[in-house]
Amino acid sequence: MTINIDYETDIRIVPEIPEEEIINKVITQACDYEKCPYEVEVNVLLTDNESIHETNREYRGVDAPTDVLSFPMIDYEAPADFAFLEDSPVEDYFDPDTGELLLGDIVISVEKVMEQAEKYGHSVKRELAFLVAHSMLHLFGYDHMEPDEAEVMEDKQNQILLNIGITRMEDNI
């Protein structure tokens, strides 16, 4: 598994928070939870509100900062259904050098992580983990446009976090 984490900002969530450790654990758990049969590559960009605002405007037509953006590389027939990949040309979905499945990119505003942690009354560690889990589910083809889809995503996000010891009340990574 390759998890590339890049910083596009000097703003750090909190010096005591091991961002990379949290991101790695959540991505690994999400892959395990969704029973991904492949080694994967995921790119994570930690940025600020200004930069994510520009990206949100450019790619989604939304003129506002957001907390997280997901850019999946795979068009699933059904969420987390990897079966179609066996019949697809390898170069369409896999890194030719490593053989890893290219899941996609995650962009997170560290400013929003801190703002939302305070707003929702939980730790920044929990907020970061939640956003990564949420985004990973998008990379697996899930969405939350309809109430039933939102319920599925919420249940999966909560289970992924619970599996690594992060709840709304306690986060024991």
8 Å CB contact between 12 and 114 = no
Residues belonging to the binding site are 134, 138, 144
Do the domain assignments include residue 170? no
Question: For residue 87, what pLDDT band results from cuts at 50, 70 and 90?
Answer: confident
Residues belonging to the binding site for Zn(2+) are 134, 138, 144
Do the domain assignments include residue 172? no
Do the domain assignments include residue 30? yes
Please tell me the pTM assigned to this model. 0.93
Q: Which domain holds residue 132?
A: 2-163
What is the per-residue pLDDT for 15?
A: 63
Do the domain assignments include residue 60? yes
